[in-house]
Amino acid sequence: MNYTYLQASFQDNFYSHSPNHPTANDEGNIYVESGDRLPGIPVDNFKTGLDWQITPKLSAGLTVVYQSGQFYRGDESNQLPKIPGYAMVNLRGEYRVTDRFAILVKVANLFDTEYSSFGLLGQADEVLGDAYLDPRFAGPGAPLGGWIGLRMTL
């Protein structure tokens, strides 16, 4: 089990160049105050795992990952809503056919949780056309995935 509480914040007041921020001044700057959180860094990260040795040849494991919300890169002043946090469950299994050969199974994001792993401010209209005015871009997290593998120990 691992938990991280990370209070990463700016220690001084300053202007940051962020021309795509909705509240930027005429020069494209936003005012960042001491104590504003660094974008892209969640406060809370929690990971836990559990492994079972079901039989001498068969084992299984489960991990749970939680990450709290984070501010968009370009919103150093923390004025916009955060990218939402998320929780995800992963599974793994191993069957040892012999001492040197095993079959592996892995399922990532078991419940197909939709989440964003990062975000930034940009010019949406330049990419998507004039109808798109929201400057927030979010990177989607990995969807449900599964793998089967073989491991050979020499």
Domain region containing 16: 2-152
H or E element that contains 127: helix 124-128
Q: How many Å from the N-terminal Cα to the C-terminal Cα in the chain?
A: 31
Note the pLDDT tens digit of each residue in 19-29: 999 999 999 99
Tell whether pTM > 0.95. Answer: no
Note the pLDDT tens digit of each residue in 55-89: 999 999 999 999 999 999 999 999 999 999 999 99
Burial per residue of 80-114, b for 16 or more beta-carbon CB atoms within 10 angstroms, e otherwise: bebbebbebebebbbebeeeeebeeeeebbbeeee
Domain count across the chain: 1
**Rounded mean pLDDT of 94-119?**
97
Q: How many CB atoms lie within 10 A of CB 21?
A: 21
From residue 125, how far is each of 40, 63, 133 by CA, in Å?
23, 40, 6
| Cβ-contact 40, 118 below 8 angstroms | yes
pLDDT at 129 over 90: no
